Structure 1
Amino acid sequence: MKNISFLFISFLILLSSCGKKNTFILEGKLDDLTSDSLVLYYIEPVYKLDTLILKKGVFKQKFNADSISLFYIILDNQEKIPVIVESGGKIQIKGNNRLYVIKGKGENKLMGETLLTLKKREVMNLPMKAQVDTFIKNNPRSYANVFLIDRFYAHDSTPDYKHIIELIQSLNGNVQDTRYLTDLLAKAKEQKGDENKYINLFNEPDKDGKTIDFRDLKNKYVLVSFWASWDAKSMEEQDSIATIVKQMKKEPFTAISVSLDMDKDAWTEIISKRDTTQWKQVCGFKGWKGNIARQIGLNKLPTNILVAKDKSIIDNDISSQTILNRIRNLIKQDKEKDKSK
């Protein structure tokens, strides 16, 4: 009987230790937030959104860690805190939406120390990419590289796709095989040597399921604006576009807002409440993998693409503040050309 009891207790201890080994703990405190919940944006093993609940800025959440998961905590000012979910790991985040410190074990410890070093260099106005390259070279097995390449290279205003390819290919196979880097590598290879002078194909559905095609927008300049209902900055950009469309109502100009939303109900609710009925709203519910997003190599929100009447790209990333003058100047040039003819 004693032997049976001993075996039973040993079995319970074993189960308990296995449970701890396969869990990951995220905890911390963030001040100056305007909400009691934050978005978790997963980039590994699948692209998805989740929610982190806070109470007076304090949070603690357990995650299943049977395999590596990577996600960002999206703060209310759109600052992104990277998290690596690994078996038996723990991460603690303290600070506010402008400055925070990451403490943890293993991968998260390494990532926290690296981000702190880069933050110091940023404050001192020192170059950071050389430091990032050195880290990647010295730590090819680290999953922190996924976040570093995303932040410092993929979201550059003029991405160096050749260097992105070299960085990804220098990594260990497990890191290379993450969904985000696999997709980024494919996009970088497509973009390398290709300036994307034209939008070759555009056919996206509106809220009624009707396909919007560039062929229906003949002889017009087109502003293609990328946004998402979960991205506060791009939501503000949509309000700016409303003003532009009103002022250009009688001109050969139109706008199309392309959403990266995955949830149709959330997208439909947002566009029904905002002043967006004067131009076209489309969404294929494929996020960053949507046809038009992949075609132009989209890597950040918000992004505005200005397209000419022949569907050639005039500007890959034009700000809402400069759109109005740019369009007016283009129309003026067209009229002058017509007169000269």
Structure 2
Amino acid sequence: MKKLLLTALSAVAMLQVGAQSKYKISGQIKNFEGKYIYLHKFTGTSDQLDSVLLKNGKFSFSVPVSNAEMIAISGTSKFSPAWKAFFMDTHDLTFTASGKSWADAVIKGSAANNIYNEWDAEWEAIRQDAGKLYKMLDSAGKLEDKSAGEALRKKGEDGFAALDQRMADAVTKIVDKYPNSPVSAYVIVDRYVNYPNTERAVKEYAKLGAQAKASFYGKKIEEYLAIEQKTAIGKTIELSLPDVNGKMVSLSDYKGKIVMVDFWASWCGPCRKENPNVVKAYKAFHDKGFEIVGVSLDDKKANWLKAIDADGLSWKHVSDLKGWKGEYVGKLGIRAVPTNFILDENGKIIAKNLRGEELYQKLEEIFN
């Protein structure tokens, strides 16, 4: 569940499919005179599509749209408080904002955005509650009384499990209510593709209507499910990367052992919070034949090595230090970290994306 806490505004750049017509955004922004306004569109090869100078508090953009898509208006070329993301469909719309923060900007003319607002209200409430649980887990790790810290940690983990179910219910609610809307497809992408959960993605995708499936987001789900077949249970994967000393390490080196391939990064908060659980599992089952190969998505070696040492990760680590551009990110369809695969003695996947107690229980099942 902790992986849920990243921003809800997420989309991987790829070429838009389908014919596009242009629709107009007419905007009015108070207290921002003489500055540039930027248009961002997340379904093309570049997220920044256009810019215009605000004159007399007004601006306008002509936006190519083929269905309904997530776009954003901002007061800088990058994310800032002067930023508002919303859905634009095949109608002209108006945008009204004021001051330095545009969180409460008013968008009129987009039925798709009304649906998005409905989803976003529920998602924001979940995010707020998740933030409280993060603080609880942080506090647990700082307590000198280890038993009290463990109890608080357990309470936080249980809270995240309940929040995960709440999130799943919210996704189901929006998809069931609006099966033909591209917004429903977007929600599936944002929750179950960008933070992979194949089982849930398949379940919710099956409910979508033709219009939603034909949208940019529907196509992304379809693409994701096709890639997932490469790393489905029972499939065999191979990987060969340099370790911390530059020596090449291959998964074939571990034939005959149970291996967890763990994709992570030093900058990944959920990864670092999960590492104590992974350390616990490694210590409990390593002598029985359990191995881990950590695959880092870092691009700076110093940060990578520092995190390995700080978190006490005593297993083998490999990386090409290319971050999200790494060779196996694309080959294995890695869309988020942490992501893990458990391989049997023959290198076949027998489980994936197990966390905390689920990981421990699976290893107990295997070795005991």
Normalised by the shorter chain, which TM-score bucket?
Answer: 0.5 to 0.7
Pick one of 320, 336, 352 that aligns with 1:316.
352
Q: How many angstroms apart in 2 are the aligned matches of 1:102 and 1:63?
A: 18
Match of 2:318 in 1: 282
Match of 2:72 in 1: 85
Match of 2:245 in 1: 208
Name the CA shift for 1:231/1:239 in 2 (closer, same or farther; >3 Å). same
Question: How many pairs does the alignment contain?
Answer: 253
Pick one of 3, 15, 38 that aligns with 1:65.
38
Match of 2:296 in 1: 259
Gaps of 5+ in 1: 1-37, 47-59, 72-82, 93-100, 333-341
CA contact (8 A) 1:168 1:185 kept: no
Name the CA shift for 1:198/1:68 in 2 (closer, same or farther; >3 Å). same
Q: How many angstroms apart in 2 are the aligned matches of 1:261 and 1:170?
A: 38
The letter for the 2-side match of 1:327 is L
Normalising by structure 2, we get a TM-score of: 0.52
Larger deviation, residues 191-200 vs 306-315? 191-200
Identity rate of aligned residues, in percent? Answer: 21
Match of 1:151 in 2: 190
Q: How many angstroms apart in 2 are the aligned matches of 1:196 and 1:272?
A: 32
Name the CA shift for 1:160/1:317 in 2 (closer, same or farther; >3 Å). same
Residues 321-332 of structure 1 mapped to structure 2, 5 A cutoff: 321-332=357-368
The letter for the 2-side match of 1:148 is V
The letter for the 1-side match of 2:280 is T
Q: How many angstroms apart in 2 are the aligned matches of 1:296 and 1:247?
A: 28
Match of 1:112 in 2: 117
Larger Rg computed on CA atoms: 1
Residues 1-341 of structure 1 mapped to structure 2, 5 A cutoff: 43=11, 45=13, 65-69=38-42, 84-86=71-73, 90-91=83-84, 103-106=104-107, 110=114, 111-116=116-121, 128-132=171-175, 134-135=177-178, 137-138=180-181, 140=182, 147-154=186-193, 155-156=196-197, 158-161=199-202, 164=205, 170-171=211-212, 176=216, 184-191=221-228, 195-276=232-313, 278-285=314-321, 287=323, 290-294=326-330, 297-332=333-368
Name the CA shift for 1:242/1:64 in 2 (closer, same or farther; >3 Å). farther
SS at the partner of 1:246?
A: helix
The letter for the 1-side match of 2:189 is D
**1:257 to partner: Cα distance:** 1.6
CA contact (8 A) 1:104 1:112 kept: no
Name the CA shift for 1:39/1:217 in 2 (closer, same or farther; >3 Å). same
Q: How many angstroms apart in 1 are the aligned matches of 2:285 and 2:208?
A: 44
Name the CA shift for 1:207/1:165 in 2 (closer, same or farther; >3 Å). farther
The letter for the 2-side match of 1:131 is I
Name the CA shift for 1:165/1:211 in 2 (closer, same or farther; >3 Å). farther
Report the aligned-residue RMSD: 4.6
**1:302 to partner: Cα distance:** 3.0
